[in-house]
Amino acid sequence: MKIVFLAPFGIRPKGTLIARMLPLAVELQRVGHEVVIVAPPYTNPEDSGKSEVVRGVRLVNVLLGPKHKALAAPFLAWRMLRAALAEKPDLVHLFKPKGYGGIAGMLLISLQRLGIRMPPLFLDTDDWEGEGGMNDLHDYSGVEKRFYRFQEQWISKNAVGVTVASRELERLVAGMGIPGERTLYLPNCVAAAPAVDGAGARARLGIASDAPVVLLYTRFFEFSQEKLHYLFGELFRQMPQVRFLVVGKGRHGEEDLLVKAARESGFEAALAMAGWVVPESIPDLLAAGNVAIYPFAQTLVNRTKCPAKLTEILLAGTPVVGDRVGQLAEYIDDGRSGILCDPDDWRQMADETLALLRSPERQRQMGEKARLYLQENFNWKDAALRLDAFYGRGAGVSTK
């Protein structure tokens, strides 16, 4: 079977294609399908109009149109649909029910309704885009927010099947009146653990080999900045030799707020700010931590997310102390492969982190269990097999 994945944006510099679409495509090809990714490369305009092969999967970057967002929308959506149909696919799978790809998906469904023969459309959703969701985190205009909310509802209801990345999304999709047989729970998964060099990453950042290191891998919007500043301040107060390795960049300069708080609270010298780094460098940095913290506020955005960053940390074998919110409780076997805390109990997270930092053997055992638990319960090979069967049920075509 030939499958086209419609991407929400280009493969660079964002990680969604690499973290979710690409591994699914790779595994589907291993069971005998051909997968082509069609992407609007507005995040990497240098690739406009170019095709490339990434990990054995063909990626088609459509030609970009006008730079103005409103003018670009019909151009890019039409070009994405044309590129998809040119592949003569047996089905099309749209990733994210919004933006240019979302319009292309809406066009496909509309053409089907006019009686034109079109491949069946599946939808993948890994965030809640509408009210209380990602719309509230972006500086969209009121018109854009209403349109994205409409896209999410309309495409979800009219797609042949919907794959959802979290249990909360599964619940919300059911709330739209979509029957369970048209929905597949498909969380982010992992492949084989990469070889890592945590010691080398420490050396490059000037962190002593014997220093206890707390890792934070984040985009900063998942929690209150006050909580983060409290945690670092409290950990430093009780363990002055601790070092904080921060990997990631905020949307609104939150890392600058952290540096300011560190200066005011006296732990500035303990900070190692790696910032945004290329994906290839991330595994080494994650392995450089002794313990990772994963603060995760009790919000709709967080409950619907399926944090690929968490899976990367666990796969690196770094034990996690996180909040009991959404998918974190799916990925972490509390007390065995990690530790879950009450998101409103800041002291609990600080205390659990300190206790784990003081027990190297427990760190080692928990980190290893975290990796094994993830690989046994959330691996892309099994996920692709479930998706393959879902395609067969929904599309009414042979999956072989």
Mean pLDDT along residues 281-302: 96
Model confidence at 262, in pLDDT bands (50, 70, 90)?
very high
**Among candidate residues 260, 299, 300, 323, the one with its CA nearest the CA of residue 310:** 323
- pLDDT above 90: residue 279: no
Task: Please give the backbone phi and psi of residue 164, each rounded to the nearest 5 degrees, phi first.
Answer: -120, 140
385 found inside a domain: yes
Comparing 70 with 242, which gets the higher pLDDT?
A: 242
155 found inside a domain: yes
Q: CA–CA distance from 37 to each of 26, 40, 83, 84, 121 (Å)? A: 11, 10, 10, 9, 14
Number of domains in the chain: 2
356 found inside a domain: yes
Mean pLDDT, the chain, whole residue set: 94
Q: Are residues 101 and 30 in the same domain?
A: yes
Mean pLDDT along residues 33-61: 95
Model confidence at 395, in pLDDT bands (50, 70, 90)?
low
For the chain, what percent of residues have pLDDT higher than 70? Answer: 98
Residues with Cβ within 8 Å of residue 324, at least 6 apart in sequence: 334, 340, 341, 342, 343
pLDDT at 398: 43
Q: Are residues 352 and 313 in the same domain?
A: yes
Mean pLDDT along residues 21-49: 95
Q: Are residues 183 and 159 in the same domain?
A: yes
Q: Are residues 15 and 158 in the same domain?
A: yes
Q: Are residues 217 and 108 in the same domain?
A: no
Both structure tokens of 134: 């990602």
230 found inside a domain: yes
Rounded to the nearest 10 degrees, the angle between the axes of helix 99-113 and helix 69-86 is 60
Between CA 330 and CA 353 the distance in angstroms is 20
pLDDT tens digits, one per residue of 312-351: 999 999 999 999 999 999 999 999 999 999 999 999 999 9
Q: Are residues 160 and 229 in the same domain?
A: no
94 found inside a domain: yes
400 found inside a domain: no
Residue 196 CA, distance from chain mean position: 21
Q: Are residues 168 and 49 in the same domain?
A: yes
Residue type (1 letter), 178: I
Comparing 370 with 140, which gets the higher pLDDT?
A: 370
- pLDDT above 80: residue 400: no
366 found inside a domain: yes
- pLDDT above 70: residue 99: yes
- pLDDT above 90: residue 251: no
pLDDT tens digits, one per residue of 156-211: 999 999 999 999 999 999 999 999 999 999 999 999 888 999 999 999 999 999 99
Q: Are residues 228 and 371 in the same domain?
A: yes
Q: Identify the bridge partners of residue 6 per DSSP, sorted by sequence position.
A: 38, 94
pLDDT at 396: 54
pLDDT at 132: 85
pLDDT at 130: 84
Mean pLDDT along residues 348-365: 97
Q: Are residues 19 and 153 in the same domain?
A: yes
| Bond preceding residue 13 cis, omega within 30 of 0 | yes
pTM: 0.92
Cβ burial of 139 (10 Å; 0-12, 13-18, 19+) is exposed
Residues with Cβ within 8 Å of residue 124, at least 6 apart in sequence: 20, 93, 94, 95, 96, 162, 163, 164, 165, 186
Q: Are residues 123 and 35 in the same domain?
A: yes
- pLDDT above 90: residue 69: no
The CATH number covering residue 214 comes to: 3.40.50.2000
Lowest mean pLDDT among 213-217, 252-256, 365-369: 252-256
Edge-to-edge strand ranges of the sheet holding 2-6: 51-54, 57-61, 34-39, 2-6, 91-95, 121-125, 161-164, 183-185
Q: Are residues 46 and 180 in the same domain?
A: yes
In a 13 Å sphere around the CA of 309, the CA atoms on its Cβ side amount to 22
Mean pLDDT along residues 368-397: 91
Q: Are residues 8 and 146 in the same domain?
A: yes
pLDDT tens digits, one per residue of 305-314: 999 999 999 9
Lowest mean pLDDT among 249-258, 287-296, 348-357: 249-258
Domain ranges, residue 385:
2-189+379-395
